[in-house]
A and B are shown apart, each in its own frame.
Chain A
Amino acid sequence: MKILIVEEQPALNRSMVDYLSSQQYVCESVGTFRDAQEKIDLYQYDCIVLDIMLPDGNGLQLLQHLKQANKLDGVIIISARDELDDKITGLKLGADDYLTKPFHLSELSVRIAAIIRRKSLQGSNLLHYNEITIDIQAKTVTIKDKDITLTRKEYDLLVYFIVNKNRVLSKNAIAEHLWGDAMDMADNYDFIYAHIKNLRKKLLAAGSDDYLQSIYGMGYKFSTH
């Protein structure tokens, strides 16, 4: 899976490359409009992470460029501007998603995964993790070929964990993923715990291994020991 990261800030650019590279993505990164245009013209990417404000141009023009060239690359816009207008324009121009800075890398990762799944020509809607299989289209989860029933939040959590497997996910990141950033409940994440506890119970009951670990009280990690 090839990803192009277009971000002016080297530090942020590197973080994204670090995080995504460790998830079996092949990342290329550029910091200017011109370099991005060159890359886009030469190669095909599964997903492009696109910052709108670039030193030598507007990222939205790159979107138009893609459209005119009939390119099918998935695009997720990352912008510091939480302007509704920008968001609408971006999506109208063919972007697949829009993420406002600052975001969690785990959130970026789960959104990229969703875009790639939607765009993938192979039509693979299945997400595997050992004995766990998720059918993204049907929104069903099976463990060792046995269906299990999850609530909407538990299902979202499981997809989020599996896409970000082997990563430590902070409670803050999990809360923002599940409830959006309108959820302004600061340091009180007790309500996350209930969902995680239930999910874990259901997975174990269906015969799955125990993959969910609490990490030093600050977050969770989904991995084999």
Chain B
Amino acid sequence: MKLYVKYNRVNILAAVLIFIVGSCSFYFLLQYILVHQLDDTLKTEETEIKQYRNEHHAMPEITPTRHQVTTFTPVTDSFPAIYRTVKLSGHNDMYRQVQFGMEAAGKYYLVTVSRPLEETEDLLQVIILLTIIMIACILLVGYIINRVVLSGLWKPFYKTLDTLSTYELSLQHVLNFTPTGINEFDLLNENVQRMTERVQADYQSLKEFTAHAAHEMQTPLAIMRSKLDVLMQQDAILKHEGASISDLESAISRLSKLNQSLLLLTKVENRQFVLNEQVDMEALLKSKVSELLDIIEAKHLSVNIVVEPMTIRFHRHLADIILNNLLSNAIRYNREGGTIDISMQNNALIVSNTSSLPMLDRVRLFQKFYRHADVSEDGSGLGLSIIRQICDMAGYVIRYDFKDARHIFTILFK
């Protein structure tokens, strides 16, 4: 719901309520005043009749008019005056009447003077009608003004929103807002600007940290590896410590790959890749499979590929990593003589493979360093986390299924 719709809703509801309560009170007050006025007239009439009786010791002649009906009814006793609103028989309109008892020439009479309320009601109707028209006008005009003025007032806000929605941290954009002349919006823009600058600075230092971490870790690794390469050339050492050197080498290799994977993961998590390349996935998949053919053959696996041409807006390096990790897993965790099915159709990549492993934990599968209990420490334990992170960043969906003893990984490129 838009802000001004919500605001209008509250505003109009309150206005209508106030106007209803106001109109009702106005109606009753007006009616009270008018009736009171009528009662005054009736009171004067009563006084006049009594005055006439005092002067003439007889009841006055009745001359009925349209505005006043007076009757005398003989009664046995005297009683005090009552004012009330009644409906007279033979008349459609309501009347206000006063009844009082009085004594004239030794006889008691009940005097009734009635005056029609018609005029009062006409007056009331006109006043109420006018009031309603006025209220309607006020509401309508208020609504229109709110709509026009508010949407105009909110324009700078929407401009800020637009700017923010196209803002890309990794592109290092500098946000520039033109002054709006409205304090709140200028304050908002100023804060947004300051915040993005701060985030930008943090991002920058994080990036630098990543680069430094790489440097700090890779250089000692490079020293270790090069020393090992040199040591390896000495026959005496190799003869006695061949196994140790071999172990050291694979440990260094694993550490180096782990380091690279962690750095890549950090970079993906920090959104340091801009997805603006058209990547021919078909060609990439084919070259990846041929690259891995040696290991596939060494394990006596058979591969079935169904692939349609597919080009997506992505990052070549990341696409390569996704394919590499998926296919490497399908090979590594396969059994000797197993099969791998690869299909790339309708914006979906499906890789399924046979394996001696049972169904994997669907949730933990994509966590860092998750390994099934039956798996020796072979891969880095980061392959699937990296795929997951890349998919999350690119808005793709990755799914794991286990069917007919096959592990099936599906990536939906939207």
- Residues of A at the B interface (CB closer than 8 Å) are 9, 11-12, 15-16, 18-19, 22, 53, 78, 80-84, 100-106, 153, 167-168, 170, 172-173, 179, 181-188, 190-191, 194-195, 215-219
Contact = CB atoms under 8 A, between A and B. Distances in A.
A130 B260 CA distance: 40
Greatest chain B CB density within 10 A among A15, A104, A184 is at: A184
B214 A19 contact: no
Greatest chain A CB density within 10 A among B215, B221, B229 is at: B229
A19 B257 CA distance: 24
A176 to B, nearest CB: 8
A187 B298 CA distance: 14
B292 to A, nearest CB: 8
Interface of B: 211, 214-215, 217-219, 221-227, 229-230, 232-233, 238-239, 242-243, 245-246, 249-250, 252-254, 256-257, 260, 263, 291-292, 294-295, 297-298, 317, 320, 324, 328, 331-332, 378-380, 383
Given A185-B332, A216-B242, A217-B242, A190 B298 contact: yes
A34 B260 CA distance: 31
A168 B227 CA distance: 13
A15 B227 contact: yes
Greatest chain B CB density within 10 A among A103, A167, A183, A186 is at: A186
Contacts of B249: 170, 172, 218
The 7 closest A-B pairs by CB, nearest first: A15-B226, A80-B218, A102-B222, A191-B298, A101-B222, A216-B242, A102-B221
A18 B230 contact: yes
A184 B257 contact: yes
Contacts of A104: 225-226, 229
Contacts of B328: 184-185
A15 B230 contact: yes
18 contacts: A11-B223, A12-B226, A15-B226, A80-B214, A80-B217, A82-B214, A83-B211, A101-B222, A106-B229, A167-B233, A173-B229, A183-B291, A185-B328, A186-B250, A187-B378, A194-B294, A218-B242, A218-B249
Contact of B215 (A81, A173, A215): A81
Nearest to A168: B232
